[in-house]
Amino acid sequence: MRLVVGLGNPGERYRRTRHNAGFMVVDALAARAGVTRWREEADALVTEAAVGGEEVRLAKPLTFMNRSGIAVARLLEATGGTPADLVAVVDDVALELGTLRVRERGTHGGQNGLRSLIDVLGTDEFVRLRLGVRKGDLPEDLAGYVLAEFPPEDVLVVQEVVGLGADAVTCISTARGCSGGDLGARSGTRPRDRPRGDARARARSAVAPHPEMACSDRGPAQGDARDLFDGQTPRSILATECAMISGRLHTLLAPIRCPSGPTGALDP
């Protein structure tokens, strides 16, 4: 069974902070599947949910970010899984808000949760989805920045990014693997900059969504994240627009199922 782990810090104090973007995506996946009950297991909050037609285990470590590897190792051991079964979802202050990056291996890049996973698991051979949380230049106080809440003016963008992150995990789960690139910056389209009107219709017809990614039956892409920020209602996104987003994600990740196909969207 695939293990999807959102990295973050437990407790209400950290719930809406930049460092908890991974938790937000996992919560969104659970909400989409109609899952409301979590249990404590192996130093994490755990539940099972259908993601992309596949039953996966969702987890949020209770060990705090810098010790995430301990909980993840115990979860994999409990299920007989290996790092190849893992998808880690993390925040990344090196990436601009609105950018998602998928990798199937690599260094921690200064992200302490990933650092812990690599150290404890003894390998960097696992899929990770990074969500950009930075606006502007890198702050001098990185720790203070990631442990601060998103400002009110960024809430709607964050909610859209969380929805896109959940879409990306769904695509990864459907594909049973990942070797992706940057979503958003690489495609030239961030959530707040998506095409409107006729441009949106052209994009939708040019990029057909993956069957598992169709969103018309679940409403707005980021609707399942609306309760993360004190009940603020995000800007409405039409189901057709949601399908366009899903199609773009599928197009970027599709080459992992067709190694001989085009790979222009992928990093070397």
Residues labelled catalytic: 19
The order of strands in the sheet holding 54-61 is: 39-41, 44-51, 54-61, 3-6, 86-96, 127-134, 100-103, 182-183
